[in-house]
Amino acid sequence: MSGTHDSSYADESQVNGSTKLRTSEKVVFGVGDFGANYSWTFIASFIIIYMTDVVGIAGSVIGTIILFCRFADGFSDIFMGSIIDNTNTKMGKAKPWVFWTAPVLGVLTFMLFNVPTSFSYTGQIAYIFIVYFLISVIFYTANNVAYSSLVSFMTKDEKDRVSLGSIRFIFSNLSVLCITTFTVYFVTSFGDNQQGWTYTSAIYALLCAIPLMITGYFVKERNVAEKQYHEVKKTKRIPFSLIIKSLITEKYFLITIVLYLLWYLRQTDNSMRIYYATYIFNDANVMAIMSIATLLPTILGLLVAPQFAEKVGIKNSIIIGLILSIISYIMMGIFSENLILLVVGLIIHGIGLVPFTAALSGIVADVGDIIYWKTGVPVQGSIFSLASAGMKIGSGLQSAIVGWSLSVGGYVAGASVQSQSTIFAIKSMQIYFPLLAVAIVTIFTLFLNYEKFIKHIKEQIRTNNVGEMRDKQIYK
């Protein structure tokens, strides 16, 4: 790199995306998701039990707040993608958004788990709504859409994209494992009351902000080279309506959105795990065992996921994993109160999660390439934003469903024993509902048939044969 280049950019040989990424750069990218989960997963896993058992807010109220904000978040994702597509700075297109939103996200996460006790019940609800809205709709959206978009800007190599997805989710699952394993321990060690949540959320705020800032500063965007910077600045902004039209008229984009929505909707088991441990096995610390049983096989599996996908094909690898997950849920349904057999089922489930988890970001990037090749409209930021919208809406629905199911089941905060209707609600959200969602995901995955022509499309893009100039015989 010459002294005239910003650290954000690669040299000319890298602009076409053909240069293989170094492992060190993949790791720098991956640590960002490690940090993001100290906001996202911490909130998703513990907001309901914190609000119901510590603050004293009804689960149905929290579920409704989450649902409203996540739907609003879905729309903000769409606009954020358009903003990224039209961002042209010397730092890059997505990098600045990852970097500058990180510290704010950490502070807001801390604030969410420190609801002022001096506020009235209505005042507390207003406080929770405002802080959660700022996190979900604005700052996490800006950060996560930009972070996810980096996959498209860093490389066009399909193997590298799968590898980036694997490394990203290795770090993601490591942080999820740490959060779900140690949060209860931290909270009880620091006081098992508001003080425990205050100290824990302060630590997590730092663990959220610092890794994301590292990613935002050090990764390289190869598809926005410095020599293109002034030319890009002179181009007209891409009309938002044109971007949306290019996206919604592509069948693979619509399939991808449904997959994102369902994949995150099925994660009611993550939100319900603390309740399952507490009221099925009468020990909140069992949550750590359940988390390790699920996440450790996933982390180890992600190390070999790219090789497995290359050998059997991305789609086939996903189908195999989903079938394993279906089998695991059936097993857990049969042995729902046997901890040993439940753990065996969770291990199988963790293995089953691997192929889809590793491939998800790469699928979105590939679909973005298909759309760009067909239309000539660059949609890398927007497609990740809409995929993120599917994720946010799915996550919002699952959190709301968890809150509502607890209320309908008659959950009593702090009670040592819950009613049979509450136990059924807990089991439904932990096992039966995710089983249904995974079965539907499997059906939609069968329609992902683009692997046979994606390499040809990427070659066309490298030679600038896009839009009206493309080879129309490929896509049939």
pLDDT attached to residue 471: 64
Confidence of residue 228 (pLDDT cuts 50, 70, 90): very low
What is the amino acid identity at position 364?
V
* Residue 306 confidence (pLDDT): 83
Q: pLDDT: is 242 or 27 the higher one?
A: 27
Q: What pTM was computed for the model?
A: 0.72
Name the residue with tokens 């991808």.
Answer: 256
3-state SS assignment for residue 418: coil
The pLDDT, as a whole number, for residue 232 is 43
CA–CA gap between residue 93 and residue 90 (Å, rounded): 8
Contacts of 70 (CB under 8 A, 6+ apart): 136, 392, 393, 395, 396, 397, 399, 400
For the ranges 155-159, 228-232, 305-309, 332-336, the maximum mean pLDDT occurs at 332-336
Are 373 and 470 a contacting pair, CB within 8 Å? yes
Percent of the chain with pLDDT over 70: 91
Q: Mean per-residue pLDDT for 128-137? A: 95
Higher pLDDT, 146 or 228: 146
Structural domains of the chain ordered from first start = 25-468 (1.20.1250.20)
- Alpha-carbon Rg of the chain, whole angstroms? 22
Q: What is the pLDDT of residue 474?
A: 63
CB 219 within 8 A of CB 95: yes
Mean pLDDT of 360-371: 86
Average per-residue pLDDT for the chain:
85
Is residue 60's pLDDT more than 90? no
Residue 472: pLDDT band with limits 50, 70, 90 = low
* Residue 400 CA: distances (Å) to CA of 43, 278, 372: 13, 20, 36
Query: What are the residues whose beta carbons fall under 8 Å from the beta carbon of 325, sequence distance 6 or more?
Result: 348, 349, 352, 353, 438
| Contact (Cβ atoms closer than 8 angstroms) between residue 8 and residue 89 | no
User: Which has the higher per-residue pLDDT, 358 or 55?
Assistant: 55
Looking at the DSSP assignment, which residues form a beta bridge with residue 89? 92
Residue 352 has pLDDT above 60, yes or no: yes
Of 30-39, 168-177, 305-314, give the range with the top mean pLDDT.
Answer: 30-39
Contact 423, 408 (CB under 8 A): no
Give the residue from 112, 62, 132 showing the smallest Cα distance to 403: 62
Give the best-scoring range by mean pLDDT among 61-65, 181-185, 420-424. 420-424
- pLDDT for 2 beyond 60: no
Mean pLDDT lowest for which of 92-106, 194-208, 399-413? 399-413
Check pLDDT > 50 for residue 48.
yes
Q: Among 224-228, 308-312, 340-344, where is mean pLDDT lowest?
A: 224-228
* Residue 342 pLDDT exceeds 90: yes
**Is residue 226 pLDDT above 50, yes or no?**
no
8: confidence class by pLDDT, cuts 50, 70, 90: very low
Flag whether pLDDT at 387 surpasses 80. no
pLDDT at 351 over 50: yes
Q: What is the per-residue pLDDT for 417?
A: 85
pLDDT of residue 473: 62
pLDDT of residue 216: 92
Question: What are the backbone angles phi and psi of residue 92, rounded to the nearest 5°?
Answer: 135, -170
Q: pLDDT band at 21, cuts 50/70/90?
A: confident
The predicted-structure confidence for 285-327, as pLDDT tens digits, reads as follows 898 899 899 989 988 998 888 889 889 988 999 999 999 999 9
Residue owning tokens 């499997």 = 442
More confident residue, 74 or 65: 65
361: pLDDT strictly greater than 90: no
Query: What's the CA gap between 78 and 80, in Å, rounded?
Result: 5
